[in-house]
Structure 1
Amino acid sequence: MDAIGVADIESWLDSFDKPGAARKAYAVFRAILRLAFKRGLADNDVTRREIRLPHLRHYEPQVLSAPEVRRLLKGFYGHPLEAWLLVSVCAGLRRCESVGLEWADLDFRRGTVTVKRSVQWVAGHETVTEPKTDLSRRTVALPRFAVKRLAELRHGTKTGRLVGSLNANQVANHYRSWCKR
């Protein structure tokens, strides 16, 4: 371990195809070296020196403008996924959060939706989990037009998910195919 130098580490990091993978691998490697140093298995901790990590590209998400959102919602008017899309767009939810929404999560009197769960497709089956972070568990106010339309769409349904029995992948496929049409 003592023979490992800064140049060796940087060369190793440059061998990764993706900067994110290199950064994750380095974090694990650094933890191992620091533990070895702490336990007296190595004489020096090379990770305390300045190591050049690969730069991550800045991610700029694609965001729809207000007219584009209006057009999207009009295009889904009457579609079985309309309630899901309306809540997703108005509350800014992740796909896994929005697929897990149930009608009981909507409070029509207060005009809010509460995010309590996340639904993911793992190893060929659906898994209901906690939201991604503590801050992901939240209550979000919905605009008045959305609450009004959701009340119309509810049609007495008091239980079940907004997407019915569809899983996250099926919702995504239905959404994509409808947008193409």
Structure 2
Amino acid sequence: MVRSCLSFIAIALLLGCTSKQETDLIQGYSEKVTYHKQLQKTEKTQLYQDNVTKVMLTATYLYTPNFENNDTRDEVFIVGLSMEGKASGALHSEENTLTLNGKKAKEIKALSLKDERLKDLSFVTPWSSYYLVTFPHESNKKITLLFESKRYGKGTLHFAKVAKYVLTKEAF
């Protein structure tokens, strides 16, 4: 009888402690759920010269799944660019180009560091320039963002409209 009472008390104590920690964990996650979702859709690449980072490019794919058969929405990214020696690097210029599966952007709009869209993103730094970049619709489930710098080379970022683990290994 005493043994079963002690077992019951021990189980009740363990469950009580676990549920409190679990509740705190869930609450902390739900407060930043948008941040975590955007983090899953963020990629980064660096371009080097003599083993020193000269360019860092981050891109967050702003795609939300839509299960319509005729989804023709544009592909939209927030792209951050940091170039060594420049307060703000130009994303699209004579020196630099950005393409999505070989296509040029329809629109590139510079964003202020105070823009609301940057608040839920990871890797936001005061020394980077941020852009809202819109590309024409891509029907492929896997897409490749390619940044080319005449001075520092190429950087490739891979994104997917479905979870990456669903795609075959050859996709990337």
Q: TM-score range by the shorter chain?
A: under 0.3
Structure of higher RCO (CA pairs closer than 8 Å, 6+ residues apart) = 2
TM-score (norm 2): 0.25
Greater strand proportion: 2
- The structure with the largest alpha-carbon Rg is 1
Greater helix proportion: 1
TM-score (norm 1): 0.24
